[in-house]
Amino acid sequence: MKFYQLPPTERRTELAKDGADLLDVEPAELERLNEMSENVVSEIVLPLSVIKDALVNGKKWTIPMATEEASVVAAANHGMSVFKKAGGVTAESDRTGIYGQIVLEVGDAFSLKKFEKAFPDYIALANQEFASLVRHGGGLKEITAEQKGHLVYLLALVDPAEAMGANKTNAILEFLAQKMEFFPGVTAKLFAILSNYPSQITMAKVKIPVDLLGKSQEAGLAVAQKMALLAKIGEEDVYRATTNNKGIMNGVDAALIATGNDYRAVEAASHALAVKNGRYASLSHWAVDGNFLTGEVKLPLAIGVVGGSISARPDIRQSYSILGKIKAKELAELIASVGLANNFAALNAISTKGIQAGHMRLQSRNVAMNLDATDEEKEAVYQLMISQQKYGESAAEDFLKELRGR
């Protein structure tokens, strides 16, 4: 038997013979996981955190985030806290659909004009075949085509309703391609597959009084101006832009993972959007407008709240029990708001105390918690690391010896 054909317990046995030290996993859970992926041998668990009372479009939400980085949750929490004091985030999501692509090879007898006249019939056939999607408010909306030599490039816009829509879109594209292969002049289908090109664009905006950024309006204005300058650099300098966007995706990915959405697809689309003007730039924009700091982020969020692994995974279902009844449009608006909050927190930290200070506080907590010591000793070591600004495992060990020597 090949490795992938073995039951997960036998795969674990083989790895154990090679020296692997695997975590204990309940047999029933292991079997469940084995149905979700390939070559399953164990599991990796992420902490599920929440952002409480996030104010988006006038409504308070509790937003789940799955990440092992404490600083990501802390940054989102800080940003959302400031946003709430400023009246909250205004967000809007365009749920027109996601793109699928079909590429056909054609001969000299092919007529693009005649082909385009057949598009309404193809759309009707597809929506008849996938009537369940239409009943849920979705379906194939439009087809466009462009010919380059002996290749015809088609884009199909599919509204996935409340689902992420990747599998359904691929099924629709395969159906269309099979029909189109019989059109006069078409010689072959090269491929028919979903494109992760930016779609389902979501915008989140915030307007923050500068007095929320400093001990006085003058001090807050200085912070706001520095944040706006840092943001401007991110729009012009690729090195800053890349890190700026990584900070945005810190929060976005954590919310996507917690809600069972495809963070890889969103990452790819986001970076494509970042380079739409011919050079890589920040996905966010910040500026000073009088006594206000204004910020916005634009993200392609082809996500869903039903289908896929969402209903099959108990760990994901708990996230939706936290969120409550929610539409895909609303979830996209929350996720974009989290990305903007993480971006705000990073720019604010750089403009004031420096971003490393917060990171080191959180990292020191992790280091102290891993000491072979009592809870009281761990807390004392952590406080010493922060007060003396000495970080890392060796510093923690030294502080522990010092405490015990006393």
Q: Which residues pair with 300 in a beta bridge?
A: 201
Is 294 buried (19+), middle (13-18) or exposed (0-12) by CB count in 10 A? middle
Active-site pick, 69, 92, 94, 105: 69
Active-site pick, 52, 246, 276, 401: 246
Is 246 among the catalytic positions? yes
CA separation for the pair 184, 113 (Å, rounded): 12
The token duo for 32 is 């469940």
3-state class of 6 per DSSP? coil
Give the up-direction half-sphere exposure of residue 301: CA atoms within 13 A in the CB hemisphere. Answer: 34
Q: What is the DSSP string of 317-371?
A: HHHHHHH-S--HHHHHHHHHHHHHHHHHHHHHHHHTT-HHHHHHHHHHHHHHHTS
Active-site pick, 262, 296, 330, 333: 262
CA separation for the pair 33, 130 (Å, rounded): 30
- One-letter identity of residue 51: I
Cβ proximity of 234 and 281 under 8 Å: yes
Which residues 6+ apart lie within 8 Å of 41 measured at CB? 8, 11, 12, 15, 22
Is 359 among the catalytic positions? yes
Q: Which residues pair with 296 in a beta bridge?
A: 205, 285
CA separation for the pair 330, 342 (Å, rounded): 19
Question: How many residues in total does the chain contain?
Answer: 406
Q: Phi then psi for 47, rounded to 5 degrees? A: -65, 140
Cβ proximity of 365 and 396 under 8 Å: no
Active-site pick, 359, 379, 397, 398: 359
CA distances to 41, 43, 310 from 36, in Å: 12, 11, 12
3-state class of 286 per DSSP? strand
Closest CA to 154 of 172, 136, 127: 172
Is 69 among the catalytic positions? yes
What is the set of active-site residues? 69, 246, 262, 359
